[in-house]
Structure 1
């Protein structure tokens, strides 16, 4: 059953859209402070579709992500009371926020670098950094280095694969999709 290949074709078509860089920048900004979808979902296909622009896409993603991280920092620093119900005991983000605080106590500014590079929800750390009144310049540097390392790595891998990878993925995307669905079901059942 081929349900993933039409989605793949659509994503690749969107990645070539003339406004795709604007959408990538907006998504990167929003993800760093409040939105749940990581910019890698746009950066990867855009870098694969236009390998010569991959570095530019990675730079754009990094810059807008750091700016979005600054918004998250400001939310935590100046407007934490507005989001307190989300992080109060029993709130949706109570556990991740407590974990972020523990990371900051254990590793300081390195927590921002790790969260910026890893798939951990970066927005939790940007807001937490503001709440904990982390020094702004180290926050921005760690964000730029962590996010930049991640996004340039994604862009480089996709640009390296280029059209050959795009074609290969197109051939196997349905199989890969169904394998992922089965893995998710197994994880849910085994919990």
Structure 2
């Protein structure tokens, strides 16, 4: 409702999101059995998580952080916990989270500042779908490259 404050809100949202991601990383790294596993089971994400855990390397985690940060594909809480469980370097994780989440929030802020109220309906109805399609394309490209080079 206040496009002139869009960048301020984007910064606050980025900082809060990254701090939440760091909390997820710590839960995954230090409290998987006691905390993370019950959370994943509660959200119905445990089986998906276990599949990712057994097949993920750092390169795939980097891709998932970017796609989940931009489009929640897969859900960001799964990726943050997984990053802690498999021991992704915390500074790398924080940097990637800043880029991924910051890009999403700054894009929204820029659109609101540039186009004002007229873009709001588009953002609410279609932007998530467009970003998700882009994230899915990145994941498919990564998988194709990974299997092409064996």
Query: TM tier, shorter chain?
Result: 0.5 to 0.7
Instruction: Indicate the residue corresponding to 1:161 in structure 2.
Output: 115
SS at match of 1:109: helix
| TM-score normalised by the chain length of structure 2 | 0.68
Q: Do the aligned partners of 1:101 and 1:128 also contact (CA within 8 Å) in 2?
A: yes
Unaligned runs of 5+ in 1: 1-48, 177-191
Instruction: Indicate the residue corresponding to 1:59 in structure 2.
Output: 11
Return the index of the structure with the highest Cα Rg: 1
Aligned 1:1-191 pairs, distance under 5 A? 49-82=1-34, 83-87=36-40, 92-101=44-53, 104-105=56-57, 107-120=60-73, 121-165=75-119, 169=121
Report which of the two has the higher share of helix: 2
Partner deviation per Cα, 1:6-46 (whole Å, 9 max, x = no partner): xxxxxxxxxxxxxxxxxxxxxxxxxxxxxxxxxxxxxxxxx
Q: Do the aligned partners of 1:110 and 1:142 also contact (CA within 8 Å) in 2?
A: no
Flag the structure with more relative contact order, 1 or 2, with Cα contacts below 8 A and sequence separation at least 6: 2
CA distance in 1, matches of 2:97, 2:17: 8
SS at match of 1:92: coil
Q: Do the aligned partners of 1:115 and 1:125 also contact (CA within 8 Å) in 2?
A: yes
Q: Do the aligned partners of 2:21 and 2:97 also contact (CA within 8 Å) in 1?
A: yes
SS at match of 2:81: helix
| TM-score normalised by the chain length of structure 1 | 0.54
Distance 1:63 1:103, change over 3 A: farther
Considering only aligned residues, what root-mean-square deviation do their CA atoms show, in Å? 2.7
Give the C-alpha shift of residue 116 in structure 1.
1.1
Unaligned runs of 5+ in 2: 126-150
